[in-house]
A and B are shown apart, each in its own frame.
Chain A
Amino acid sequence: MTASKVFGLSVFLFLALASTAFARHYRFSDAPPVTNADDTRPSPVPASSGEFKFVEYAVTSSVRYPLVDFLDARRKQRSQDVNALDQVPASSWYTPRLGTRDVTPDELLKGPEVKGPPQAPYTIIKAKTKGNSPGFIIKDSRGIKYLIKFDQSEYPALESSVNFIVNRIFWGLGYFVPEDFLIRFNPADAKTGEGLSQDDIDEVYAFSHAEEDGTYRAVASGFLEGIVLGHIAQRGVRKGDLNDTIPNENRRTLRALRMISAWLGNSGFRSDNTLEVYSGTPGEGHTLHYILDFGENFGVHGLEKGRAWDGFEHFFSWGDTARRFAGLGIPVKRWEDYKVDPGSATAHFEADLFEPGKWKETTQFLPIRSSQPDDDYWAAKLIAAVKTEHLEALFSAAKHPDENYTREVMETLTERREKILAYAFSRVSALEAVGLNENSLTFRDLGAEHGSASSEYRVRFLNTNGKKIMPNADIASGSILEVSTAEALKKAEGYLIVEITALRGGKAAPRSAEFHIRSDSGTPRIVGIVH
């Protein structure tokens, strides 16, 4: 063996040994979990990111980031906007609502409402004929600006209903959204502003669906107050924003959009469906991060584009392209045999072929592609909190004229939700602590409640260094799930890690749940949870 081979082998062995030696668990500090990220402190006005350019976005998200990421063998990081209990604290990105407290259907219906819908008479200050939704920018009688989006003549009542419902769902899930309202827009209430011709106005009406009484069903979206900074970037932080310290690709609030968008059939989601606005007096304000433009959820994006692959394929993906090339196009994807009914508004929103793990947004969005099992789990818990009564209230308020449409979408949402929960809960040990005392830890298995039933649970007891301090314990599934921790707490010398792995059909869940318990200064308390 030559000297160089010996050297190479030594390096390999060193790295292999180092790999195991460096593995280590979190150690959480003895402090209450952070419930507010405190990222609304005064900051100078950050730099604007300029207007959205689709071609650059498409090249960046479909070609550049995937290739560069492929060359980076390091693991994707865990989300950084998460507290010790694996929850997302309140921030300029997220307000805990559904899943953390009771939200009544009435509260959800009201949603982000502060100023309320526009008050007639209106002044039209701009006409919008580009894009899928024709519309106007108006000022109402109070001088408040709104974006009015009409339904396309081809799809009456569709986008307005979808926009309203999904706006409220996103609000309920905790995201910042604009004030969107369903209105009847009467042209008689609107006067033409300066610089606009009647031809401009008529062009918008020509693209829009008019009701028999001459009014137009529309969504009125309140303009966001503040200095518009641009869209949420896929990667990194906003320059000059002192509060923005976590790269966007590592934000759970953005990664969670994978499951949320999959559930809602939001395949058209891109950076330009977001907006960052500096709120407050320059130098004393802070940035707020909004999600907007909800009209293409429930498969409307695929419907309007006429794409059978919508939600199943990216516009371009290196991986899919390479796999198809290697397979000579012989493998057939399930969606390829899906018969799309061109006359149905729900043709592109279905639950039979839907597989949450394989759902894809049309143009890749890096945070969505960076999502980890614990992010999907958190998102699924939020989705589980959207109850049927919430949906019924929203659909009832949306007043879509076709009852069959409402029924079909409701059914599809329910079926997709169950698939989302089963998928997301199966990728982790979906365990939530419900009680802890000096003798035992009681927990609840969300997976068992949503289609990922566990036959038993394997428990490891580790000390602060991750070293096993007593034999494993097995717990049979049942209504009360309790781990005896008395002996382990004594041996753990103040810091105990209870690592529980759900076993489903004898097979361990891909990830364990860790409950970090401190007992070094008084009664035992959970100081950290890792999924």
Chain B
Amino acid sequence: MRNLPLVFSLAFCLLLPPHTQIVHAKEISLRGAELEETRFCDPLRSAVSGFTYVPAKILDGTLYLTGRTAAELSDEDFIRRVKDVLYFYDEKFMWYPLVDFNSGFRTSYGAGLNFKDGNWSIKTKALVNDSDYHSASAEIKHTGTLGDLEWDNSLLALTSKEDDRRFYGLGADPRGDPRNTFTGDNDYGLYTESRRKLQWESSLYGTGRNLGLTYLGYYQRRAFEDGGQGSNDVREVFDHSRIPGFNAPVRQLYNELALEWDTRDRKSMLSPGFRSEIYSGFSAGLGHHGTNLFRTGFDGAAFIPVIRKNRLLVPRVTGDLVENLNDNPIPFSEYPRHHTFRGVSTREIIRSERVSLVPSIEYQFPLSHMLGAHLFFDTLFVGPQAGSMRWNDGLWAAGVGLDLHYFKHELGRVELAGGSEGFQAKVTLGTPLKTNHRKDW
């Protein structure tokens, strides 16, 4: 039985004549050959092709269907029909499906509905999954110009209930941190977060959107409960009474100013330049146990051409700090989320501490007209003070990714990362780069 592949190979070798022997009557009459040429290794090549014959046929059929489907999707009539379905009311309204897939977590699905009329737009989204998860948001936005300046104003309302979230405890070394009381063996506890948010954002941009000043203000209420997973729940893993903010809703009123400077010609494709952002904000805790917080942080990256201008070395540092302004403890949900560290899922609060620093280095290079690749090495350090961060408590992740572009837009990205927190695979399609921006913490 173990020799079956070889037997099949031989059979294919005999059944599948070498290319040079496949001759039609017409061909013989053109070439005038009584005997066709056969060259060295042709039988060996046939045998190898015998092994790959079935996979090749399957691949051929699959890609044929892919091509046909892609053609249908791009067909003008089809696009018109799709537009008729997706757009309505003079194409001012458009709806679209949404899928959020993340390995190891439940898949969410839903729909979005956009309205656009001149400078005004309204975006609404709703997502659910097969458990209690749901998320709905609506944003109204107005854009305009003021001389050489461009500005946006938007108002966003959001309500969500997100399950599958993971809390690992406070501090750089949660097991050794006295603020945590582990009652189980798990490293993390699952919880569900219910959130309501009303957000106002005003931005003013210089020519080419290289320089931007943004005001952000929101009211947000978060409430937490166990993840409903038994022994993996927060209450089973931790002494939940000692987790600040877990047992009562956290209500914050936040105001922030941010300044962004981006010198790159193209914001998403391989383009040399420099990008930086600094922000500072004040968060007033509402209610009897409300905690007043001061937040500040920065995100700086240089896109340095090496070899040629489309090979970029990107050193990047993001830092976030939260400072307690009264005696109440900082709720666990309000610690910085180190969104640029790629070694964990965005649904994991892997480290919770007052100061967070993510130094990373990335090398970006082109693969083809629309495809680029990047290698990255990210590190994450947290501590109660900037000076108290310890090298040994740092987390790291190294990986490789592919990104697909279409003109100036990033269409999708695949990333594989391995590091101190294990292996991560991420796939995003049609998701803007700022999905995991701190505004979505």
Contact status A313-B56, CB under 8 Å: no
Residue of A nearest to B50 (CB): A73
- The CA-CA distance from A78 to B36 in the complex, in Å, is 11
B 25-56 to A, binary, CB cutoff 8 A, 1 in contact else 0: 11101111111111111111111110010011
Q: A64–B57 Cα gap in the complex (Å)?
A: 11
- Nearest chain A CB to B358 CB, angstrom units: 24
Shortest distance between the CB of A239 and any CB in chain B (Å): 16
For the complex formed, measure the closest distance between the CB of B398 and the CB atoms of chain A, giving whole angstroms. 14
Given contacts A22-B42, A63-B63, A68-B63, contact A8 B3 (CB under 8 A): yes
- A189-197, A314-322, A348-356, A481-489: which lies at the interface: A314-322
Which residues of A have CB within 8 Å of B371? 316, 321
Contacts of B331-375 to chain A: CB distance below 8 A: 363, 365-371, 373, 375
Check if A120 is an interface residue, CB within 8 A of chain B.
Answer: no
Q: How far is the CA of A293 from the CA of B207 in the complex (A)?
A: 42
B2 at the interface (CB under 8 A from A): yes
Nearest-CB residue, chain A, relative to B16: A74
Assess the A80–B31 pair: CB atoms within 8 A: yes
Confirm or deny: B229 has a beta carbon within 8 angstroms of a beta carbon on chain A. Answer: no
Any B CB within 8 A of the CB of A11? yes
When distances are taken between beta carbons in the complex, the residues of chain A under 8 Å from B20 are 75, 77-78
**Contact: A74 with B18, CB < 8 Å?**
yes
**Are B32 and A68 interface neighbours, CB within 8 A?**
no
Question: In the bound complex, how far is the Cα of B23 from the Cα of A80, in angstroms?
Answer: 9
Interface residue B73 (Cβ < 8 Å from any Cβ of A): yes
Stretch at the interface among A50-58, A156-164, A205-213, A501-509: A50-58
Bound Cα distance A502, B13 (Å): 35
Given known pairs A31-B32, A317-B368, the reply for A530 and B55 (CB within 8 Å) is: no
Any A CB within 8 A of the CB of B386: no
* Contact, CB under 8 Å: A19 / B44: yes
- Complex alpha-carbon distance, A131 and B311, angstroms: 33
When the two chains form their complex, are residues A83 and B71 in contact, meaning their CB atoms are under 8 A apart?
Answer: no
Q: How far is the CB of B96 from chain A (nearest CB, A)?
A: 20
Q: Which of B25, B30, B308 contacts A82 (CB 8 A)?
A: B30
- CB neighbours (8 Å) of B32 from chain A are 28-29, 31, 33-34, 83-84, 527-528
Q: Which A residues touch B63, using CB under 8 A?
A: 59-60, 63-64, 67-68
Interface string of A22-61 (1 = CB under 8 A from B): 1111111101011001010000000000000111110110
B37-A25 in contact (CB<8A): yes
Shortest distance from the beta carbon of A244 to any chain B beta carbon, whole Å: 10
Interface size on A, residues (CB 8 A): 68
Q: Which residues of A contact B308 (CB under 8 A)?
A: 332, 336-337
From B44, B46, B73, contact of A16 by CB (8 A)? B44
Asked if B66 lies at the interface with its beta carbon under 8 angstroms from chain A, I say yes
* B56–A74 touching, CB < 8 Å: no
From known contacts A55-B74, A74-B42, A81-B30, infer whether A67 and B59 are also in contact, taking CB-CB under 8 Å: yes
Find A4's partner among B2, B30, B368 (CB 8 Å cutoff): B2
Q: Which residues of B are found within 8 Å of A337, using beta-carbon distances?
A: 308
Chain A, 291-340, CB within 8 A of any chain B CB: 309, 313-317, 320-321, 324-325, 328-330, 332, 336-337
Across the interface, do B74 and A11 meet the contact criterion of CB distance under 8 Å?
Answer: no
Whether A19 lies near B70 (C-beta < 8 A) is no
Tell me if B67 is interfacial: C-beta within 8 Å of chain A.
yes
Known: A28-B32, A80-B31. A64 touches B39 (CB 8 A): no
A314→B52 CA distance, assembly (Å): 26
* Nearest CB of chain B from residue A270's CB, rounded to whole Å: 14
User: Does B407 count as interface, using CB distance less than 8 angstroms?
Assistant: no
Are B29 and A68 neighbours in the complex by a CB distance under 8 Å?
A: no
Which residue of B6, B40, B60, B373 contacts A20 across the interface (Cβ within 8 Å)? B40
Contact (Cβ within 8 A) A72 B373:
no
- What CA separation (Å) do A11 and B8 show in the bound complex? 12
Closest CB in chain B relative to A425 CB, distance in Å? 22
Residue contacts A-B, CB under 8 angstroms, 26 given: A4-B3, A8-B6, A15-B47, A23-B42, A24-B35, A26-B36, A27-B34, A29-B33, A29-B34, A33-B32, A34-B30, A55-B73, A56-B68, A59-B63, A64-B67, A71-B59, A72-B56, A81-B30, A82-B31, A83-B30, A89-B30, A313-B369, A321-B367, A328-B365, A329-B367, A329-B373
Beyond known contacts A75-B42, A324-B366, A528-B33: 19 more, CB 8 A cutoff: A11-B6, A11-B9, A33-B32, A54-B74, A55-B73, A56-B67, A64-B67, A68-B63, A71-B55, A71-B59, A72-B56, A74-B42, A75-B19, A80-B31, A245-B24, A313-B368, A315-B368, A332-B308, A336-B308
Give the interface of B toward A (CB within 8 A): 2-3, 6, 9-10, 13, 18-20, 22, 24-27, 29-49, 52, 55-56, 59-60, 63-64, 66-68, 70-71, 73-75, 307-308, 311, 363, 365-371, 373, 375
Closest 10 CB pairs of A and B: A329-B365, A56-B71, A84-B32, A64-B63, A71-B56, A53-B71, A59-B67, A73-B48, A27-B35, A55-B74
